[in-house]
Each structure stands twice: as structure tokens, then as C-alpha cells.
Amino acid sequence: MRTAVMDDQTIRDATCIVGVGNSRYGNFPETDDYGLGVEALRAALDDAGLALSDIDGLIVGRIRSYETFSEMIGLNRQKLNLQLNSAGRFSAVSVMQATQALMTGQAKCIALVYGNNGKSVRDTYGGAPGLYSPWGFTSPGARHALMARRHMELYGTTSEHFGHVGMTFRRHAAMNPNAVRREPFTIEEHQATRFVAEPLKLLDYCQINDGAVALIMTTADRAKDMKKRPAFISGFARSDDYSRASIYPEDLWRAPLQDVASRVYGAAGIDRSAVDGLMIYDNFSPTVLFALEGMGFCKPGEGGPFVAEGNLALGGRWPTNTSGGHLSESYMQGWALIAEAVRQVRGECGERQIPDCEVVQYICATSISSSIIVRR
């Protein structure tokens, strides 16, 4: 009997990211998701020392059409061309798909390109008709506000705890020239900002901007002679939960995140103590607490104090979102966090570099809870 199984040992460190690139982030009505995507792709190819002719696979995220983009960049005869859903949860999924395609020989060198012009088209992330619009309910922010409130009621978490998440990442952003928000803020300043969907305040929301990120992925053997040291995809896991997708998950994604935690370290052949830094999907500040608790970095309910104690700061136990993340650098839906993970394990992060950084873990708490472990 023939079986076709790629197990953790086969996948571990067999593929890698060999190029990362990003556009500038901001408000750019003179271009769009395509134009910014090209900017990021060119930067990533240059970073990898490759030409477009080396690329035989393409995965696009949020860019409106894989077909238009392929025509625009003149990429033909690719063996893989995927346009995944534009939700941020698909950034990690894209990397997983690329690894699987490389492992099965579907493609030899894949460009993953994400482009977003949400700022210049005034994307409001709310206000569309929906199941609960007759009651005035809309927006991802309000959904996270419901979860934040539940966390507060269950565990005594405070708005100040949420403030510590953003304040920590903003200090990191001050060391990132490409971050759109670099001026530090205090907890008092966080508290003084207006509510959007209470209990979430303006500073609990990510920074919507135009921008793009590209990654170039290939197999470890092909990466040997390339321009830069590869960042290996050491392991990954995902766990989906849609049981209350129209409201919010009652357990704040703990069960799916625990499922991810139970597999991702084994996949990478490490335990949590080997992780030098974290990149956590921070669409809203409380999401970071759900991710930390679900993945077991702290106990359920202890996320707030865990962050306030400085564990996520540079110099802390697990420096997190050293780029500033979505709350300060730009809302690039996980893509820029994955690029930052690569730059950290390469040691390219300048004053925000995590010392002797070998292993970085990306975590996204959402309906597709996911994690990727990247190592040098």
C-alpha cells in the first residue's frame, strides 16, 4: 500500500524564506494594491538576489486578482498560482501552502505577495450590511470589544492592561524607521483616548495603511548558494474553529490555540523555552492576550499582568512585535510580522534586534488559529 504523508520531520527546516521585502506604509492614492505589491516584490527579489525568471510559483494575498497581477508583472508558466482570501489569518496559511507546494515539487521558488490599499480607499472595516446590522453591530473591532469585555469580566483584566500591549509595541516602533506611528505613549495617554467600541479605545486599534509585503520561499537545498542566510520554516500548525464565528468564540480561541501549541513545538523539534522572540497578530490589543494565554506563555487570565510586567518588551523574556506590529508599524495582516521574524533571525534589525536571536514564533489567534516557527 502506498501512503503519501509529509510528517513533521520531513517538513522541518526543509523550506525557507530567502527574501523579504516591503513597500513604504502610509496613504498613497497615486498607487494601489498592485503598485505596492510590485514595490514589495522587487524589494524581496533584490533581497534574495533573484530575478523574476527564477520564480515559478505565486501566491497573492489581498491583491485583487492573481490574473491581473500576473499579467502586470509578466509572470507566465508558473506551476502554482493561488489567490487566497484577504483576511489576515491567511498570511500564515499562505506560508504553509507555499511549504507544501515546495515539498511536493509543485514549484521550486515561490513569491508570496500581499498588497493593501485600505487607507487610500478609506476602508472603514464596518458599516456593511450583516447578520446583526439591524441592532447596529458591525466591525471586527466591536467583535474584539465583546471578547475584551468577556476577558475583563472573567479575569479582572483592565483597559490599562490593553494599554500596556500597545505601549510596549510603540516603544519598539520608535526603533523602526518604517513604522507609521513612532511617538511613544503612556498608559495615561492610552486612557485619555476616545472609545471606539467600548471597552476598546482608539489606541487599541491597529493602524490601517496602504502597503505591501513580499516573501520569497524555496527549498533548503536551493537556498544554500543564495545571497542571504535562509530563515527556515521549522514547523507550523493551524486549528480552525467556526462554531460561533458570527458572534465570537466563547473560549477566546483557547481550545484551538492549545491544539496549535500541542503540535507546533513538536513539529519544530523545540520547546517553548527555545523561542527567542514572538510575532503576535495584533489587530486589536486584547488579541495579544488571547494568543499568549492560548499558546501557554502564561496562564488563562494572566495575559494582562504578563504584558504589564514587561515580558514582551525588548530586554524582556519574549520580545514581541519588535517592528511595532499592527498597532504601530502598520496593519499588514500578519505579513509584515512574518517579514520581521525573518529579519530578526537574520540579525538585521539594528537597534531593535533581539540579541542572538535564533528562533522566532509567529502566532495568530483567530478563526484559523495558526503558528509558524522560524529559525536561522
Partner 1 sequence: MSYIKPLPAIDNWNRGFWAAAQDERLAAPHCLDCGHIFFPPGACCPRCLCQRLNWKTLSGRGAVESWTVFHQLYYKGFASELPYNVAVIKLEEGISLMSNIVGISNDRIESGMAVEVVFEKATDDITIPKFRPIGPVRPA
User: Annotated active-site positions, please?
Assistant: 281, 331
Rounded to a whole number of angstroms, the minimum distance from the CB of residue 274 to partner 1 is 36
Rounded to a whole number of angstroms, the minimum distance from the CB of residue 54 to partner 1 is 45
Helix (H) or strand (E) holding 255: helix 254-268
Nine-digit cell string for 183: 511617538
CB of 132 or CB of 310, closer to partner 1: 132
Tell me if residue 204 falls in helix, strand or coil.
helix
CB of 235 or CB of 286, closer to partner 1: 286
Give the CA angle between residues 215, 217, 219 to the nearest 5°.
165
* Rounded distance between C-alpha atoms, residue 336 and residue 227, angstroms: 21
Rounded to a whole number of angstroms, the minimum distance from the CB of residue 136 to partner 1 is 5
| Site residues for partner 1 per CB under 8 A | 124, 126-127, 129, 131-139, 142, 145-147, 149-150, 153, 194-200, 243-244, 246-248, 250
User: Taking the mean position of all CA atoms in its chain, how far away is CA 111?
Assistant: 17
Q: Cα torsion for 92, 230, 98, 352, to the nearest 10°?
A: 20
User: Taking the mean position of all CA atoms in its chain, how far away is CA 346?
Assistant: 18
User: Taking the mean position of all CA atoms in its chain, how far away is CA 320?
Assistant: 12
Rounded to a whole number of angstroms, the minimum distance from the CB of residue 193 to partner 1 is 11
**109 bridge partner residues:** 218
Backbone dihedral angles phi then psi of residue 53, each to the nearest 5 degrees: -65, -15
Tell me if residue 266 falls in helix, strand or coil.
helix
CB of 136 or CB of 315, closer to partner 1: 136
Most distant pair of Cα atoms in the chain: their distance: 66
Rounded to a whole number of angstroms, the minimum distance from the CB of residue 163 to partner 1 is 17
